[in-house]
Amino acid sequence: MVRIARTVALAPVPRPWLVDALGALTDLAESTTAEDGRVLLPDGWQVPELRLTEGRHLRPGALYESTEGAGAGKGGADALEGEAATSPGSDTVRITVEEWRRTHALRVAFSGSGSDGDLTGRAALFGPDRPDRVELSGRAALRGVRSPLSRFDADAQLRCGDWWQAADGDAGVRRPPLRARLTCGVARAGLTAVPRPGADHGDWDVTVTVRVRGRGPLRPLVSLGLALARRPLARAVAEAVDDAARDWNAQVPQLTALGPEELRRELLTKL
């Protein structure tokens, strides 16, 4: 097994801000309506590239389809219909509502197909009005890749309460609040992230740890190869974590400076 750790400073996300932001976004979603398959905002404008194809809007069993280039754009009265939405080479995403209860959970299943491959999975937010836990899982198959790397499974879980407790310096958090796993061919990778109070301006110091190991009959051989490749792996992990931190620190402070109504208006301008 190869273990690689990297600590980066991240701009914090205040928990009260997240609660308010999620509330504003959920309110916006619940203010939409569906008419003849079109998803409409309160002012009557259509959400582009999104159609309700089965079921009742925001009820369990509701199936939505989004195809790149299928919408008429903001305020458009007509959406391109089935033949355009399924044109060759288009990337299509389907989302099925499994549960929509703000007092308990928002859960959806999703699938996507395009020129690069196929993806299926599930996402869940437990306690939407007071975020408790986020869970993601998925499976992907890449086209044009003839190797064990063409298919992989992944899952992740974030325990929100534990994250903010650890970020505030609570030593009682025993397990990493964020955990993820990726299984691909003859190897398996695990990732954990643990925040701590930062030294500068209330930032978070987040330690990301990646563990990679072999699996299956070739595990001893793969483990030997991983050990020999530890240095380039460590560089690759460090670069990926640093790049993600730079993107986070460039974007998150701009978001957390917005109030709920400002965030709602910002989202509406991008639809």
184 and 200 within one domain = yes
Domain that holds residue 100: 36-126
Q: In the prediction, which pLDDT does 168 show? A: 92
Taken in order 240, 241, 244, 250, the sign of the CA dihedral is negative
Q: Pick from 126, 160, 175: which residue ends a domain?
A: 126
Mean pLDDT of all residues in 18-35: 94
118 in any annotated domain: yes
133 in any annotated domain: no
160 and 121 within one domain = no
Q: In the prediction, which pLDDT does 70 show? A: 45
113 and 8 within one domain = no
75 and 178 within one domain = no
74 and 179 within one domain = no
Q: Pick from 99, 126, 153: which residue ends a domain?
A: 126
Map tokens 């398996």 to a residue.
188
Q: What domain count does the chain have? A: 2
Q: In the prediction, which pLDDT does 72 show? A: 43
Q: In the prediction, which pLDDT does 143 show? A: 84
pLDDT in tens, 56-110: 999 999 999 998 754 444 444 444 444 444 444 568 899 999 999 999 999 999 9
Map tokens 């003839």 to a residue.
146
Query: Exposure of 39 by Cβ count < 10 A (0-12 exposed, 13-18 middle, 19+ buried)?
Result: buried
pTM: 0.86
pLDDT in tens, 121-165: 999 999 999 999 999 999 999 887 777 677 889 999 999 999 999
149 and 270 within one domain = yes
261 in any annotated domain: yes
68 in any annotated domain: yes
Rounded to 10 degrees, what is the CA torsion of 133, 59, 53, 74?
-70
Dist. CA 5–CA 157, nearest whole Å: 19
- Contacts of residues 178-184 at CB distance under 8 Å and 24 or more positions apart, as own/partner, are 180/154, 180/155, 180/156, 181/154, 181/155, 181/156, 182/152, 182/153, 182/154, 183/152, 183/153, 183/154, 183/215, 184/148, 184/149, 184/151, 184/152, 184/153
Closest CA to 206 of 11, 3, 4: 11
Is 256:13 a contact under the CB 8 Å cutoff?
yes
139 in any annotated domain: no
Which residues make beta-bridge pairs with 206?
8, 195
Query: Exposure of 57 by Cβ count < 10 A (0-12 exposed, 13-18 middle, 19+ buried)?
Result: middle
Rounded to 10 degrees, what is the CA torsion of 243, 68, 151, 177?
50
115 and 55 within one domain = yes
119 and 166 within one domain = no
Q: In the prediction, which pLDDT does 90 show? A: 64
Number of C-beta neighbours around residue 146 at 10 A: 7
Average pLDDT for the chain:
88
255 and 149 within one domain = yes
